[in-house]
């Protein structure tokens, strides 16, 4: 038994591309402990991480995939771990765990399926262990090894046929597989080319089909104790090949015949019931293995076609009730969507903006003394927003006031002396001083900045910048009225052609998801904006009703009502548009 398990583990690890190490744990059925271990390669490094994945598969009785669970010590390449439980008649026999190079999830799942397929024929071999002779079991192991060794399906199948030819002393061994429910001879021992239209190959194909259709192992001449069966095609083949004994075995995978194995040897050494039974066991083991390799090497178109045909077979064949119910439901849903009409909307991300924004700017150079408001505050017309430091201006005001008083004294003195020339000079100097004083007083008046109207401070917070300098023209605050808003829609360039001025829309905001707000399209800007890899057009909409809960900057989603269309067109139009563009780009 150990040699069978060791050979199976080695072949599975070699069959998996990128395999680094493997482990097979076995023990008493369904009881454990599963402590009997086999390794590949036999010299192992630390397997603690691999053991954890194996124990997880034993606990769940399901395949486990652990991505990037370790690194290759030599190349630092990330490694994935796969574990698959092995069941015998529904009872847990053990688990196989393999470390492989990191790959995508579909490739990981394909590797697990390969392990599961290998576990099936291992189950068959273990089941035969107690009933078959040791040399017969060794024959099976060698044949399976031969089927796994070849790089290509044709090579592996030919080697299997040649090996059977020698072990059973046959004249010829042929392998055939189903192609769209038609049998085709794929391999003939010691033959590199098969002429499908030749009479012999046609007779071989008909004999294989006869055995596959009845699901029986057929021999000609019939062996003692064989089941009653139709052997017309076998008799015909025997007439074409005088002195030949024939045995045809169906190859089964997942309960379905996927091909047939046909052996020919001399009548002097006919097939006995024991040999026929051994051939039948070989067909059970080789069928899944060779069919899996044949399907793996099929072109992509063939794989897709087989998948489609397999799906139709499940849909219209027996069993698979759940699939039929789901398919019927989908068909009814498609018919419903093809007949019923719904409202076609164009959705777009939206943001509320103030219709007017007034900037409060610094009238001159200075320093911030006090800040009475910040973004988000509601203010009334005349409310103080910010004050600039006026100490320098007050000193300058006193300076000019002092000069004005001094000139006034000198002007009065000149008047008393009737000095007309001096009076004219002093009068001009007084006018200059008065102008400078008026300028300083105006600057002092502008150190206090107030709200121009009732509204909301939408930008500006100087509470953390007291004492900092500002330059003339710096924007300190932005104030917007609370009763005049507009909504900006970012419409994708694929949908902009559906929008027209005056169309009705509804808006739901992130902050008010329970409330719908009516809109009317007002203006479509003919300039696109690139943002986050997409092109948008800016569309302005007006609110149909006012709400005190609205604030500038609130975001949401708007839906513009376009027309009544069929539901299936509404749900598939974007996919259809993408396919048109893809075809236009790719096709010549």
Per-residue model confidence as pLDDT tens digits over 398-409: 988 888 888 888
Contact 108, 63 (CB under 8 A): no
Tokens at residue 106, please?
Answer: 């579909």
pLDDT tens-place string over residues 214-246: 888 899 888 777 778 888 999 999 999 988 999
Q: Which strand ranges, in their side-by-side order, compose the sheet holding 218-220? A: 182-188, 172-179, 256-266, 244-253, 218-220
Work out the average pLDDT over 289-314. Answer: 79
Share above pLDDT 70 across residues of the chain, in percent, rounded to a whole number = 94
CATH second-level architecture of 390-446?
Answer: Up-down Bundle (1.20)
Q: What are phi and psi of 294, to 5 degrees?
A: -65, -45
Question: What pLDDT, on a 0 to 100 scale, did the predictor assign at position 377?
Answer: 84
pLDDT in tens, 170-198: 999 999 998 877 899 999 998 888 888 89
Res 253: pLDDT: 79
Contact between 7 and 145 (Cβ < 8 Å): yes
Contact 354, 484 (CB under 8 A): yes
DSSP secondary structure string for all residues of 490-540: EEETTTGGG--TT-EEEEEETTEEEEEEEEEEEEEEEEEEEETTEEEEEEE
State the pLDDT at residue 261. Answer: 92
Alpha-carbon distance 443 to 472, whole Å?
Answer: 12
Give the CATH number of domain 484-579: 2.40.30.170
Is 330 a residue whose pLDDT tops 80? yes
Q: Name the pLDDT band for 134 (thresholds 50, 70, 90).
A: very low
Fold topology of 150-297: Beta-Lactamase (3.30.450)
Nearest Cα residue to 132 out of 26, 265, 238, 282: 282
The answer to which of 119-123, 325-329, 577-581 has the lowest mean pLDDT is 119-123
- Which residue in the block uniquely carries the two structure tokens 């006090």? 370
Q: Max Cα separation, the chain?
A: 164
Tell me which of 4-8, 53-57, 459-463 is least confident: 4-8
Q: Looking at the predicted structure, is the pLDDT value of residue 459 above 90?
A: no
Do 150-297 and 390-446 agree at the fold level? no
Instruction: Please write down the long-range contacts of 272-276, taking CB distance under 8 Å and 24 or more positions apart.
Output: 272/223, 273/223, 273/224, 273/225, 273/226, 275/168, 275/247, 276/217, 276/219, 276/223, 276/226, 276/247
Question: Among 54, 38, 46, 127, which residue's Cα sits nearest to residue 90?
Answer: 127
- The pLDDT assigned to 137 comes to 45
pLDDT in tens, 24-52: 888 888 777 888 888 888 766 677 778 88
d(CA 150, CA 259): 19
pLDDT at 73 over 70: yes
Q: What mean pLDDT do residues 425-433 have?
A: 87
**What's 477's DSSP letter?**
E
Q: For residue 127, what are its two tokens?
A: 């089941």
Cis bond upstream, residue 121 (ω within 30) = no
Six token digits for residue 260 = 């047939």
* 227 Cβ neighbours under 8 A, 6+ residues apart: 216
Mean of the pLDDT values across residues 535-564? 89
- For residue range 531-540, what is the model confidence (pLDDT) as tens digits? 877 889 999 9
Mean pLDDT of 486-496: 90
Determine the pLDDT at residue 44: 62
Query: Does the N-terminal peptide bond of residue 478 adopt cis geometry, omega within 30 degrees of 0?
Result: no
> What is the reported pLDDT for 503?
92
Q: Mean pLDDT lowest for which of 175-179, 313-317, 578-582? A: 313-317
Q: How confident is the model at residue 138 (pLDDT cuts 50, 70, 90)?
A: very low
Every domain of the chain and the residues it spans: 1-135, 150-297, 300-338, 390-446, 484-579
Percentage of residues in the chain having pLDDT higher than 90: 22
pLDDT, mean over the chain: 84
**Hey, which bits of 195-239 come out as E strands?**
218-220
CA distance 519 to 486: 9
Instruction: Report whether pLDDT(478) > 60.
Output: yes
C-alpha neighbours within 13 Å on the C-beta side of residue 331: 7
Does residue 148 have a pLDDT over 60?
no
Q: Thinking of the domain 1-135, which architecture would CATH place it in? A: 2-Layer Sandwich (3.30)
- Report residue 531: phi and psi, to 5°: -150, 125
Average pLDDT over residues 257-285: 87
């Amino acid at each position: 038994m150990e040699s069978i398990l060791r050979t199976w583990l080695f072949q599975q690890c070699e069959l998996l591309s990128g395999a680094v190490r493997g482990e097979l744990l076995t023990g008493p059925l369904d009881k454990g402990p599963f402590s009997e271990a086999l390794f590949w390669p036999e010299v192992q490094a630390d397997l603690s991480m691999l053991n954890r994945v194996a124990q997880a598969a034993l606990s769940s009785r399901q395949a486990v995939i652990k991505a990037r669970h370790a690194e290759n010590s030599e190349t630092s390449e990330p490694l994935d771990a796969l574990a698959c439980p092995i069941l015998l008649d529904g009872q847990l026999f053990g688990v196989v765990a393999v470390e492989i190079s990191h790959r995508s999830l579909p490739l990981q799942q394909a590797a697990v399926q390969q392990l599961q397929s290998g576990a099936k024929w291992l189950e068959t071999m273990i089941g035969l262990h107690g009933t078959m002779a040791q040399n017969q079991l060794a024959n099976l192991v060698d044949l399976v090894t031969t089927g796994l060794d070849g790089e290509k399906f044709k090579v592996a199948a030919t080697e299997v046929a040649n090996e059977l030819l020698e072990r059973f002393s046959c004249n010829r061994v042929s392998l055939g597989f189903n192609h769209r429910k038609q049998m085709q001879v794929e391999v003939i021992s010691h033959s590199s080319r098969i002429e499908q239209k030749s009479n012999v190959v046609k007779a071989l194909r008909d004999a294989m089909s006869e055995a596959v259709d009845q699901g029986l192992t057929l021999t000609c001449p019939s062996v003692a104790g064989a089941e009653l069966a139709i052997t017309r095609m076998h008799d015909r083949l025997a007439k074409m090949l005088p002195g030949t004994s024939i045995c045809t075995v169906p190859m089964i995978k997942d309960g379905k015949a996927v091909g047939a194995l046909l052996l020919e040897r001399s009548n002097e050494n006919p097939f006995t019931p024991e040999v026929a039974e051994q051939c039948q066991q070989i067909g059970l083991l080789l069928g899944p293995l060779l069919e899996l390799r044949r399907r793996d090497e099929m072109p992509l178109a063939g794989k897709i076609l087989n998948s489609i045909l397999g799906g139709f077979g499940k849909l219209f064949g027996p069993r698979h009730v759940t699939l039929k119910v789901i398919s019927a439901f989908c068909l009814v849903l498609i018919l419903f969507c093809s007949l019923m009409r719904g409202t076609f909307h164009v959705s777009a991300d939206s943001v509320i903006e103030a219709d007017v924004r007034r900037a409060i700017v610094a009238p001159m150079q200075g320093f911030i003394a006090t800040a009475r408001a910040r973004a988000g505050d509601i203010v009334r017309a005349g409310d103080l927003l910010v004050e600039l430091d006026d100490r320098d201006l007050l000193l300058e005001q006193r300076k000019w006031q002092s000069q004005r008083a001094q000139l006034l004294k000198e002007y009065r003195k000149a008047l008393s002396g009737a000095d007309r020339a001096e009076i004219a000079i002093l009068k001009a100097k007084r006018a200059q001083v008065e102008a400078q004083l008026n300028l300083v007083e105006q600057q002092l008046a502008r150190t206090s900045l107030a709200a121009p109207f009732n509204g909301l401070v939408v930008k500006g917070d100087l509470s953390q910048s007291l004492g900092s300098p500002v330059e003339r023209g710096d924007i300190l605050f932005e104030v917007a009225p609370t009763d005049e808003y507009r909504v900006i829609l970012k419409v994708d360039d694929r949908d902009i052609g559906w929008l027209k001025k005056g169309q009705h829309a509804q808006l739901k905001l992130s902050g008010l998801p329970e409330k719908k707000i009516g809109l009317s399209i007002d203006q479509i800007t003919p300039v696109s904006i690139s943002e986050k890899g997409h092109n948008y057009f800016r569309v302005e909409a007006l609110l149909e009703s006012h709400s005190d809960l609205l604030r500038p900057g609130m975001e949401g989603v708007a839906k513009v009502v376009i027309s009544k269309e069929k539901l299936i067109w509404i749900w598939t139009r974007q996919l259809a548009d993408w396919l048109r563009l893809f075809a236009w780009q790719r096709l010549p």
